[in-house]
């Protein structure tokens, strides 16, 4: 264990083995730090935060701080949880919940780049990448494998599905289904074909989810007719997840790009959309 003498560590904190803590960092009461974590200089890990093994926190990160919420009352015990092997870069801010016994969660093997903000009660999955200056509001859910570019703004309570890709400078006010790509015009422009390949899905399953996305967003059908058309196609776990996600939305779904309209006789197996 390598702890700089200027670091302020509460005697009530639990620090694992082989943990490095840099100059002027603060570890508050009721914090648990797993083994093999790296904590750079001027990092604050606030009370009621649990960090899994192998995580890295870079200069100026603020994790588990009280939320920016008028409803928060001093003395409320709520939590922040960080999974294992997750990287929190410079000046990231993560806030705990304003509600008793509720939690803000960041999963494992996730990368939050510099200046990302994670609001209270947000839940970020595993293997998620969030680029610089993206602001994740309270109660947002981001599922496993999603990739968010920089300067993205996400409204409260939005959901971003697994293996989706979000373009830079977008403003997200409704849900993004799994496996979809949101372009910089704030519209769904097609499937995340690169993400699907990198996830190791076989070609026939990639083709099935691409067809479902095209039918729903680019055939000019309403939801009921689109679901009926999708039901005629091959059903895979990805297609089922796509349909169930949309049917379970409470905020609605981000629009498809009106400039990308596909007819029934378009080739379904191309990788270019």
Given a contact cutoff of 8 angstroms between Cβ atoms, the answer to whether 199 and 163 are in contact is yes
The first and second tokens of residue 236, run together, are 């895979």
Residue 36 tokens read as: 């093999």
Active-site residue numbers?
120-121, 138
HEC readout, the chain: CEECCCCEECCCCEECCCCEECCCCEECCCCEECCCCEECCCCEECCCEEECCCCEECCCCEEEECCCCCCCCCCCCCEEEECCCCEECCCCEEECCCCCCCEEEECCCCEECCCCEECCCCEECCCCEECCCCEECCCCEECCCCEECCCCEECCCCEECCCCEECCCCEECCEECCCEEECCCCCEEEECHHHHHHCCCCHHHHHHHHHHHHHHHHCCCCHHHHHHHHHCCCCCHHHHHHHHHHHCCCCCECCECCCCCCCCCCCCCCCCC
């Amino acid at each position: 264990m390598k702890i700089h003498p200027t670091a302020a560590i509460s005697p009530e904190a639990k620090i694992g083995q082989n943990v490095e803590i840099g100059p002027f960092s603060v570890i508050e009461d009721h914090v648990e730090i797993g083994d093999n974590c790296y904590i750079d200089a001027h990092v604050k890990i606030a009370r009621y935060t649990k960090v899994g093994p192998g995580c890295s926190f870079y200069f100026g990160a603020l994790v588990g701080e009280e939320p920016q919420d008028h409803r928060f009352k001093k003395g409320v015990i709520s939590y922040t949880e960080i999974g294992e092997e997750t990287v929190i870069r410079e000046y990231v801010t993560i806030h705990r919940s304003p509600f008793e016994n509720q939690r803000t969660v960041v999963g494992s093997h996730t990368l939050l780049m510099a200046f990302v903000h994670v609001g209270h009660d947000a839940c970020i999955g595993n293997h998620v990448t969030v680029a610089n200056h993206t602001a994740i509001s309270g109660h947002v859910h981001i599922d496993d494998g999603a990739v968010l570019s920089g300067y993205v703004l996400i409204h409260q309570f939005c959901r971003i599905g697994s293996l989706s890709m979000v373009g830079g400078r977008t403003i997200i006010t409704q849900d993004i289904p799994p496996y979809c790509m949101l372009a910089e015009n704030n519209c769904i422009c097609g499937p995340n074909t690169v993400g699907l390949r990198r996830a190791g899905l076989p070609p026939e399953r990639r083709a099935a989810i691409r067809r479902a996305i095209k039918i729903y967003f680019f055939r000019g059908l309403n939801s009921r007719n689109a679901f009926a058309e999708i039901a005629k196609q091959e059903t895979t776990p990805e297609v089922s997840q796509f349909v169930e996600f949309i049917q379970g939305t409470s905020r609605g779904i981000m629009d498809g790009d009106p400039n990308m309209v596909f007819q029934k006789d378009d080739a379904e197996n191309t990788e270019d959309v």
